[in-house]
Chains A and B, each alone.
Chain A
Amino acid sequence: MKKVILASITITAIITTQLACNKAVPNVTDDLPALAPAKTDINAGTWQPVLLTGPTEFAVAAPAAVNTPGYAAELNEIKALQKNISGEQRARIAYWGAGSVLRWNEIMRDLVAKYNLPPYQNADGTYPAPSAANPFAYPLFPFANPPYSARAYAYISAAQYDALVAAWYYKKLYNRAAPYKNDAGVAAVLPQTDLPSYPSEAAVVAGVTAEMMKLLFPGEIANIQQKLEEHELAAITAGTATRSDIEAGEALGRLVAQKFTARARTDKAGAAGGTAADWTALETNTVGRGEIPWISQEVPKRPPMLPLFGKVTPFLFDANTTATLRPGPPPLTGSEQMKKETAEIKDLVDHPTRERIRIVQFWADGVATSTPPGHWNAIAIQDFLGKNFSEVRWARNLALLNMSQMDAAIVCWDTKFTYFNPRPSQLDPSIKTLTGLPNFPSYISGHSTFSGAAAEILGYIVPEKANAYQAMAQEASVSRMYGGIHYRSDCEVGLVTGKKVGAYAVARAKADGADQ
């Protein structure tokens, strides 16, 4: 018997050790193959930019000819780097080589998740507001909640797209081939391409993103700068760009970003938090209409999340259009219909099933996540990966998605704060929620609006998955009913409204020149 037990203990110990060694958890995008675009999209310089007046709004000087001593010196830099290439450097080349737009999107989502935490209250029961002027003091700036994040993704993606359109214009104009095409002594560590290398698309994306971050995540400038340098060094070491390709690309990216930053400073997002007077007016106006107003169910009561975000200037339509996309009112709070819809939610949360809990959790995208727009970015990226898009097409597709998400947030928030409708758990406090209760009015569902818009534009970009996207949007939408935080009206009308916003993105996609 002793032998049996000793043997068992030994076996257990061995299994334990074996299992312990295999516990590292990789990301699904850790080991992606290098981006190898099916087409160079060499004419992308003619695509319609979002904000730039044209691809030449910011001049990029002609590069030195490849037969000059200066260019030869740049090739020597690459050769020297390649001579002493380390395993770590190869890993970085592989990481960034999967795609510049892809990797910077992941970095963005990481930052959103990191900063997506509601501030803790002050001792007197009020709440501190994050300050862009002092991003390191608690509460850290920003609170990357869904509207803030939707806007951040949109600005960064749109700026990347515009900068790459300009870059592609100059690539074609100057037509300087990649370093490995000019000198057989330079190895192509990543797949070769006929795309001209001046200015470097990697540096354009890094530069535009790093510059935008100064506005959007000012506490991360140092970290972002470090990543930019790592990205640029990887591009040089890979033999895909020379020092001057990189410098021209980063400079162009930063100039384009500055134009987007200037827009962002005047798009009314800075005032979206409103004032105590605004918060009171929302409540009294709703009472004035004879309706039960939304009341924060947090303790202490927290002011509503960005009540004036509906006034932010959209990307896909002008600000006056926002109100025309606003759906009609929800059922009156005292109506039989509202009683019926509240009872439906009560019944759902009182009888949760494991499958419904899974759906709630999968789509929760609450605190410390990349938010629903970030989730749709992740979904889109999984499908884009197999498409072998060029960097400029990657940027264009994500810009379309993220502009639809920001504009969906604008229309949704406009609707929420027009009607100021209470949550199910306010009308029936016995309703307990299977996910965090968002601190803003119920009608219409943000998840539904985001998802309706995302499914619409993604269905255009990846048509073979259009039905799948609609099914996912439907699931995301209904997850909020299962979670006990939205009525059926919120979700159904949210989906329809999101779809309308998505249609603007599709219209833009059809006209931007990329699909002609």
Chain B
Amino acid sequence: MIRSITGRCKQYGLVVIFTVISCIRLSAQTDMDAIMMSKNNFCTGLMYNHSAWSNYWEGTLKRNNDNLGTVSANMYAVMGNYGVSDKLNLLFGLPYVTTKASAGTLHGMKGLQDLSLWAKWMPVETKLGKGLFSVYGLGGISFPVSNYTPDFLPMSIGLHSTNLSLRAMLDYQVKNFFVTVSGTYVYRSNITIDRDSYYTTESHLTNEVFMPNMVNYQLRTGWRSGRMIAEAILNQSNTQGGFDITRNNMPFPSNRMNATTAGINIKYDIHAVDGLSLIGGGSVTLAGRNVGQASSINGGVFYILDFSKKEKSAKKSTSSEKYN
């Protein structure tokens, strides 16, 4: 009989840098990983992410820009994950983002970005061959919580669309080695901007901007134990439509933004304090289109609050077969 996975604080590890040239879209890692919080446990914490790029893709042309120099973004996020049951988790993430260009005259931007909420469900967890196989379904929504402007790229802190995401995820673990794959479809609402016309590949006499939807694929693999997770992550994000930045033009929210990123991620539970864990990671952008070639590092601290009636020892339970 397979016991459901119990309370390890999720890997909030690698915050997906969805660069929009510099804009960061937060994707709480727990919505990308194959780990569940156990019932009545609440894991919460703070994340910091720094990303920067000097080169970007103007359409498919890679270039630099001496009037931007290095464009960097800092993200500070509060995140959490609550175990409604061992098979159903609810998650949230809320980032505050600042941007800056090292050269030129453009002003940086800052503000609260988008609140994301996810429901994560694990309908299947079963032994398969020598390992443990699990299936996840996730639904998420994110929406801007401040009136930041998306129309000042690459300095804008986000794209200001409301996104609905559906994700399927499979995980297979043999001993301490695991592989997780996921695919996500992201519906993005149209946005409005502060001007009454704009040009994409033609003029639009309106303040509303059509935002193409997106798909995302991710592969994660590495080593899991009760105390530690170390993994490598390959991520591909594609915009289903949109247009290329024209020569020497500025980026625009409805550009075709694609990115291939690779990263590593480590989570470590502190022995001394029960329920406390540290995470850290980094990523680089291998290929892209209409995005900055961002590199990023991140770190965070998380703590599990146990609201269950169980013995306190449940917090650091290692009963999960995934961890042992």
Residues of A near any B CB (own CB < 8 A): 1-2, 5, 8-9, 12-13, 15-16, 19-20, 23-29, 106, 109-110, 113-114, 117-120, 138-139, 297-300, 349, 352, 354, 357-358, 361-362, 364, 367-370, 375, 378, 425, 431-434, 436-437, 484
Closest chain-B Cβ to A43's Cβ sits at a distance in Å of 33
A8 near B119 (CB under 8 angstroms)?
yes
- Any A CB within 8 A of the CB of B193: yes
- Contact status B195-A362, CB under 8 Å: yes
Q: Say yes or no: B210 contacts A119, CB within 8 Å.
A: no
CB distance from B235 to the nearest CB of A (A): 22
Docked pose: A349 CA to B155 CA in angstroms: 15
Whether the Cβ atoms of A9 and B139 lie closer than 8 Å is yes
B202 adjacent to chain A (CB < 8 Å):
yes
Determine the distance from Cα of A352 to Cα of B111 in the docked complex, in whole angstroms: 12
B149 at the interface (CB under 8 A from A): yes
Chain A residues positioned under 8 Å from B205 (CB to CB): 27-29, 106, 378
**Is B232 positioned at the interface, with any CB of A under 8 Å from its CB?**
no
B313 at interface by CB-CB < 8 Å = no
Task: Select from chain B the residue with minimum beta-carbon distance to A140.
Answer: B247
Q: What's the Cα separation between A434 and B189 when bound, in Å?
A: 26
Residue in B closest to A435 when the chains form the complex, CB atoms: B152
> Is B210 a contact of A25 with CB atoms below 8 Å?
yes
Question: Would you call A433 and B190 a contact (CB within 8 A)?
Answer: no
How far is the CB of B211 from the nearest CB of chain A, in Å?
A: 7
Kindly list 16 other residue pairs between chains A and B, CB separation below 8 angstroms, not including A15-B164, A117-B247, A378-B196.
A2-B123, A5-B121, A20-B187, A26-B206, A28-B206, A114-B199, A117-B246, A299-B66, A299-B104, A368-B246, A368-B249, A369-B195, A375-B197, A425-B105, A432-B107, A484-B105
- Contact present for B196 and A299 (CB under 8 Å): no
Contacts of B250 in A (CB 8 A): 367-368, 436
* A23 in contact with B190 (CB, 8 Å): yes
Q: Which residues of chain B (202-242) have a CB below 8 Å from chain A?
A: 202-206, 208-211, 213
* B residues less than 8 Å from A19 (CB atoms): 164, 187, 189
B136–chain A nearest beta-carbon distance, Å: 11
Closest-by-CB residue of A relative to B121 is A5
Given A299-B104, A361-B151, the answer on whether A12 and B166 have CB atoms closer than 8 Å is yes
Contact assessment for B152 and A434 in the assembled complex, using a CB-CB cutoff below 8 Å: yes
CB distance from B28 to the nearest CB of A (A): 18
A357 to B190, CA, bound (A): 21
User: Is A297 within 8 A of B147, CB to CB?
Assistant: no
Lowest 5 A-B CB distances belong to which pairs? A361-B194, A299-B66, A432-B107, A113-B199, A27-B205
Q: Are A361 and B195 in contact (CB under 8 A)?
A: yes
- With contacts A9-B139, A19-B189 taken as known, whether A370 is within 8 angstroms of B85 at the C-beta atoms is no
Report B250 CB to chain A, min CB distance, Å: 6
**In the complex where A361-B193, A364-B195, A367-B250 touch, is A5 in contact with B107 (Cβ < 8 A)?**
no
Tell me whether chain B's interface is mostly helix, strand or loop, or mixed: loop
The complex places the Cα of A369 from the Cα of B208 at a distance, in Å, of: 15
In angstroms, Cα B151 to Cα A370, docked, is 16
* Closest beta carbon of chain B to A257's beta carbon, Å: 23
With A16-B187, A299-B66, A357-B194 in contact, do A110 and B247 touch (Cβ < 8 Å)? Answer: no
Is the CB–CB distance between B197 and A370 below 8 Å? yes
Q: Does B131 contact A (CB under 8 A)?
A: no
What's the Cα separation between A300 and B103 when bound, in Å? 12
Contact B209 A25 (CB under 8 A): yes
Q: With a CB–CB cut-off of 8 A, which chain B residues contact A364?
A: 195
Measured CB to CB, the closest approach of chain A to B97, in angstroms, equals 15
Question: Min CB distance, A440 to chain B, in Å?
Answer: 14
Pairs across A and B, CB under 8 Å, 7 listed:
A5-B88, A8-B119, A16-B164, A369-B195, A369-B199, A432-B108, A436-B250
**In the assembled complex, which residues on chain B have CB atoms less than 8 Å from the CB atom of A433?**
105-107
Chain B residues near A15 (CB, 8 Å)? Answer: 164
Q: Are B204 and A432 in contact (CB under 8 A)?
A: no
Q: In B107-137, which residues have CB < 8 Å from any A CB? A: 107-108, 119, 121, 123, 137
Q: How far is the CA of A106 from the CA of B199 in the complex (A)?
A: 12
Interface membership of B268, Cβ < 8 A: no
Distance in Å: Cβ of A316 to nearest Cβ of chain B: 27
Nearest chain A residue, comparing its CB with the CB of B63: A120
Contact indicator A8/B187 (Cβ below 8 Å): no
**A28 CA to B85 CA, complexed, in Å:** 50
Query: How many angstroms between the C-alpha atoms of A299 and B190 in the bound complex?
Result: 35
CA distance A485 to B67 in the complex (A): 16
B143 interface residue (CB < 8 Å to A):
no
Q: Is the CB of A5 within 8 A of B137?
A: yes
CB-defined contacts of B187 to chain A, threshold 8 Å: 16, 19-20
Partner of A5, one of B104, B119, B203: B119
In the complex, what's the smallest C-beta–C-beta distance from B198 to chain A, in angstroms?
Answer: 7
**Whole-angstrom distance between the alpha carbons of A389 and B278 in the complex?**
70
Chain B nearest CB: distance from A494 CB in Å? 20
Q: With A and B bound together, what is the CA distance between A5 and B87 in angstroms?
A: 11
In angstroms, Cα B152 to Cα A364, docked, is 11
Chain A residues, CB < 8 A from B106: 432-433, 436
Residue interface bits B27-68, CB-to-A below 8 A is 1, else 0: 000000000000000000000000000000000000000110
Q: What separation, in Å, do the CA atoms of A297 and B66 have in the docked complex?
A: 11
Q: Is the CB of A113 within 8 A of B248?
A: no
A-side contacts of B164, CB under 8 Å:
12, 15-16, 19
Q: Give Cα A102 to B147, complex, Å.
A: 34
Least Cβ–Cβ distance between B44 and chain A, in angstroms: 23
**Separation in Å of the A108 CB from the closest CB of chain B?**
10
* Cβ-closest chain A residue relative to B137: A9
Provide the bound-state CA to CA distance between A24 and B209, in Å: 9
Q: Is there an interface contact between A369 and B198, defined as CB atoms closer than 8 Å?
A: yes
Shortest C-beta distance, B190 to chain A (Å), equals 6
List the A residue with the shortest CB-CB distance to B58. A120
Q: Which residues of A contact B152 (CB under 8 A)?
A: 357, 361, 434
A19 to B166, alpha carbons, bound, how many Å?
15
* Residue picked from B87, B123, B195, most chain A C-beta under 10 Å: B195
Q: Are A362 and B196 in contact (CB under 8 A)?
A: yes
Q: Is the CB of B198 within 8 A of A120?
A: no
A25's partner among B108, B208, B246 (CB-CB below 8 A) is B208
Q: Which of B236-266 contact A (CB under 8 A)?
A: 246-250
Query: Nearest residue in A to B252 (C-beta to C-beta)?
Result: A368
Q: Which of A8, A114, A118 contacts B248 (CB 8 A)?
A: A118
Instruction: Given A23-B210, A370-B203, A434-B107, decide whether A117 and B198 contact each other with a Cβ distance below 8 A.
Output: no
B176-198 vs A, Cβ < 8 Å mask (1 yes, 0 no): 00000000000101100111111
Specify the chain B residue showing the minimal Cβ separation from A299. Answer: B66
- Taking a contact as CB atoms under 8 Å apart, the answer to whether B193 and A367 are in contact is no
By the criterion CB–CB under 8 Å, are A432 and B105 in contact? Answer: yes
List the B side residues contacting A13 at CB < 8 Å.
166
User: Given the complex of chains A and B, what is the CA–CA distance between A257 and B108 in angstroms?
Assistant: 47
